[in-house]
Chain A
Amino acid sequence: MTDTDTADASTSAPAQIPLVDYLVLDDGEPHLVAHECTSCGARFFDHRNGCASCFATEFTIVPVANEGTLRTFTIVAFAAPGIPVPFVAGVVDCDGTSVRANVVNTEPDPEHITVGMPVHLTTFPIGDDANGTAAIGFGYEPTGAVTP
């Protein structure tokens, strides 16, 4: 890489960056992607050297459905220092692909959250770096709920 390239990269810093690399922000509606085994269809959110299910070594990147149902959850009241509580952690079944995420835009109490409830992906800024680039996180909000 030349000095010119470096300068270009810093001046053209993106306005936003996803919290994790499997959240895609710049290809239409924000969505998650997974590494899918071309042999058996098993999906992984980080890369695999070989498929954990069938040991094949070819993968393709596939989009994950934005709608799903809440398969399980917990309301975390105690977490490591610096992590705001309470929050709702869960697993969302997105058309056969399970996704680990927080449930957001709902009251964190068992009256408002039930297993089996329909949810959909939503994104939100979680903070800016010194360059003004916003990190964008994701979560799932109840479908049909009024976003506050």
Chain B
Amino acid sequence: MSASDEIWILGINMTKFGKHTDRDAVDLAAEATANALADGGVTMADIGVLAAGNLMNASAGIGQQLQKQVGQTGIPVYNVANACATGATALRTAIMAVKSGEAEVGLAVGVEKLSGAGLLGGGGTPRSEKDKWEPSGRFGAVTGTDGRIGTNTMPGVFAQIGMEYGHRYGGASFELFAKISEKNHAHSTLNPLAAYQKQFTLEEIMGDLMISYPNTRPMCSANCDGAAAAVVTTGAKLKTLSGEQQRRAVKVAASVLTTDPWEEACQVLPNVNTLTRNAATTAYEQAGVGPEDLDLVELHDCFATAELVHYDNLMLCPEGGAVDFFESGAPWRDGSTPVNVSGGLQSKGHPISATGIANIWEVCHHLRGEAGDRQIEGARVGLAHVIGLGSACGVHVLERSAA
């Protein structure tokens, strides 16, 4: 085998997102895997490399556990962990292995059991009464700093990211962020695999439980269970497969992973902007398309405040123009650049490691013309984006097969 320029998604699947009390992470990963293999018309015997992620249990070796459920063939397994970008990292890992020529067909899987996980990111050292204040840790802190020196909670961190955008460019009000959430919840009503398919009025969203201003509860990503899996292969291999497989295969026109380069303040409040912009710039170059060519975008709306900044970071609008972009109606499913027609993380749900493959499944579903009631008619090119705080950004550009 030799290095390949063309990479294709041969099969892909996501489980229903939601509460799966009767199945563990391995069961969910096995379901997505079996369905992705069947979707691609291959079996575990064809798979030459496996990349897998399960963030909340990252040391358990989900890849090997999965093999024991669906087929142990001795292939190399890469268990990956990259915060909320874990799924995209697994896919990128499988793509790199296949692209390099080390494997002809690769499998990427992401799974999470997150129902009832509650608030993520807060806490740290408990604030019990101490016999003696003793400085410890990298900041020489004598007690827990979460809540005393800012917040570690995810809703609070991403709230600040959205508010900062408003500070720089203006126009980002509580109501605007709530309207973004209104859009995604409306979109979710057409997605039977979403954890929640409930439409909310703007008043309901703004009047709901405040978590971290301006993010109310429905403006936060939904913790739930789920898995997603994808089978990737080369253009040369695809040519040897059936016409049906060639027709349904989706071209990976760009696959990019970035981390945050140093900038003032980036170690104080995570900067999710520059690494996304860098990933998008590289992805558009690789794919030979621009943002104006995108028929749909699935971006990382972990909070309503995050979606706004990524309109700009993915260059769906001119710099500083995200508020106008939203107000124009562009990101609604009948707009010029539909964003998160799946319902996004706020309603489809965010089983962390599954997310970076599930958003690609959504795009593929439309490019194949198989999205049913929520089909974006004539979709040819789409983009999927995830952010893992810390930070990592995955961007994939996908194109419909010409076959």
Which residues of A line the B interface, CB within 8 A? 17-22, 42-47, 52-53, 71-85, 87, 89-91, 96-102, 110, 115-116, 126-127, 129-131, 133, 135, 137-138
Contact = CB atoms under 8 A, between A and B. Distances in A.
Interface in B108-154: 119, 122-124, 126-127, 129-133, 135, 138-153
Given A98-B264, A135-B143, A129 B131 contact: yes
Interface of B: 119, 122-124, 126-127, 129-133, 135, 138-153, 155-156, 159-161, 163-164, 166-167, 174, 209-215, 262, 264-265, 267-269
Nearest to B143: A135
A96 B132 CA distance: 36
Given A72-B167, A91-B268, A91-B269, A77 B212 contact: yes
Given A19-B142, A21-B139, A52-B267, A76 B147 contact: yes
Contacts of B163: 72-74, 115
Contacts of B139: 20-22, 45-46
Given A17-B133, A79-B122, A89-B156, A126 B143 contact: yes
Given A76-B156, A79-B119, A19 B164 contact: no
Nearest to A74: B159
Contacts, number: 162
Query: B interface, by DSSP: helix, strand, loop or mixed?
Result: loop
A49 B144 CA distance: 24
A73 B160 contact: yes
A70 to B, nearest CB: 8
Nearest to B160: A72
A26 to B, nearest CB: 14
Contacts of A98: 264-265, 268-269
B150 A90 contact: yes
**Which of B149, B153, B160 has the largest count of A CB atoms less than 10 A from its CB?**
B149
14 contacts: A19-B142, A21-B141, A45-B268, A71-B164, A74-B151, A74-B156, A74-B214, A75-B210, A76-B151, A78-B211, A89-B150, A96-B264, A115-B163, A135-B142
A105 to B, nearest CB: 15
Contacts of A44: 267
